[in-house]
Each structure stands twice: as structure tokens, then as C-alpha cells.
Amino acid sequence: MAVGNAAPLKERSATGWLFSLVGGSLIAILGVFVVNAGFGPLFAASPPGTATDLVNEGMVLTATGLLVLIGSVAFYTIPDQRRNWAALVFALSALAWIESAAFVASQNLADLALTVSIGPVLGLIGGILGVVGTPPD
């Protein structure tokens, strides 16, 4: 392949990394907010299951977001294994999307469904572009 033709492929790989990096950050931030929302009722007089469910969902989202961040950096910096890391980013973003949908459904926050889905969707797109793209030089 000529040098002039390789530039769009390198940009696609860098774009996948950037998408998954931003998506992982948004997932982790959402997880921190959900954990914070769960700790408020945990210390107040509330039904016993609701607060612990929020804390558990938030911890899963936070851990998933941090792992997506680590995976996105790894698939950019380790070009030999970028498809494996990008597939992991894709799978974790799908898990985060399912978990954020569970949060929206459990709290009856249908208005926030699109907002909560932005991070996982960016992670999914970044994972797909990381699998399809070429490694950076």
C-alpha cells in the first residue's frame, strides 16, 4: 500500500482509540454518580434493597468504565494485540450499556435513557473501529 493511502486507516485506528477513551470516561463518571446516588438513601431510612442495588450497579459501571479506559489505551499502545483489546472494549461497553439500562429502568428515569447511553455507545463504536482499523506506526 502506498504511503498516501495509509493515512485514512491510521486515522480510523486513532479515532477508535479516542471514541473508546471518551466512552470509558463517561461510563466511569456515570458509575460514580450512580454510587453517589445509592449512598444517600443507604444511610437514611429507605427500603433495604433499593440503595444497595444502586451502589452495586454504580460499582459495576465504574469498574467497567475504568476497564474500558485501560483497554482503549492498551489497544492503541500495543499494536500486536489491538484486536483483542478492542474486542474487550466492545464487550465491556456492551455490559455497561446493559447495566446503565438497568439503572434507568430501576429508577424510572426514561428521560435519561439517551444521556446514559452516550458513553457505552461511544465505547462500542471505538471497539468496532479498533477491531477493523490498522495499528498505528
**Alpha-carbon distances, residue 43 vs 33, 38, 39, 57 (angstroms):** 16, 9, 7, 17
Contact yes or no for 21/85 (Cβ under 8 A): no
Q: Write out the three cell numbers for 81.
A: 494485540
Q: What is the structure's pLDDT at 82?
A: 86
Torsion of CA 72, 78, 79, 84, to 10 degrees: -60
CA-nearest of 11, 8, 10, 18 to 122 is 18
Q: What is the structure's pLDDT at 8?
A: 53
CA-nearest of 80, 34, 71 to 53 is 34
How far apart, in whole angstroms, are the C-alpha atoms of residue 63 and residue 76? Answer: 20
- pLDDT (tens, 9 = 90+) of the chain, 137 residues, equals 445 555 554 555 678 889 999 999 999 999 998 888 877 766 666 566 667 778 888 899 999 999 999 999 888 888 888 889 999 999 999 999 998 888 888 878 777 778 888 999 999 999 998 888 765 55
How far apart, in whole angstroms, are the C-alpha atoms of residue 93 and residue 107? Answer: 21
Where exactly are the structural domains of the chain? 21-132
Q: What is the structure's pLDDT at 61?
A: 92
Q: What is the structure's pLDDT at 1?
A: 46
How far apart, in whole angstroms, are the C-alpha atoms of residue 67 and residue 95? Answer: 11
Q: What is the structure's pLDDT at 90?
A: 94
